[in-house]
Amino acid sequence: MPTAIIELPAKLDPPRKRWTRSEYEELSSCGSLDHERLELVEGELIDKTSKNRPHVNSLNLLQGWLIGVFGLRRVNPEAPIDVAPEDNPSNELVPDLIVLKRDQSHFTKEEPRP
């Protein structure tokens, strides 16, 4: 006679480490993240996948267009940014392209903000 399992086993979720920006920078500065393509997003280290050819082609076209509109000194590829102050401790984002509000010479010690 077949039997039915009424109780399902407990779902096991291992605890996740939420990283801070300072911890991420410390890991990076000591060489622990060498050869890793990671981005800190809401406390999680996210593996940045490699770009495929259509992505690269689109990015090149967009970058050229943005430079034509805003100028070379306001368009940065693969540059880290600061996010909103309340989100900054757990995020270090590196978008494909950013357009700066001011010329890049204004950002010598700190990252651009939204």
pLDDT of 113 above 80: no
3-state DSSP assignment of residue 75: strand
Tokens read off for 52 = 């495929």
Residue range 87-96: average pLDDT?
87
Q: Which residue has the higher pLDDT, 39 or 11?
A: 39
- Rounded to a whole number, what is the largest CA-CA distance in the chain? 78
Q: What's residue 62's pLDDT?
A: 97
pLDDT of 61 above 80: yes
Q: How many CB atoms neighbour CB 58 within 10 A?
A: 12
Q: What's residue 32's pLDDT?
A: 82
Residue range 45-64: average pLDDT?
91
The model's pTM is: 0.65
d(C-alpha 107, C-alpha 69), whole Å: 20
Q: Which residue has the higher pLDDT, 82 or 12?
A: 82
Q: Which residue has the higher pLDDT, 34 or 9?
A: 34
Residue ranges per domain, the chain? 21-106
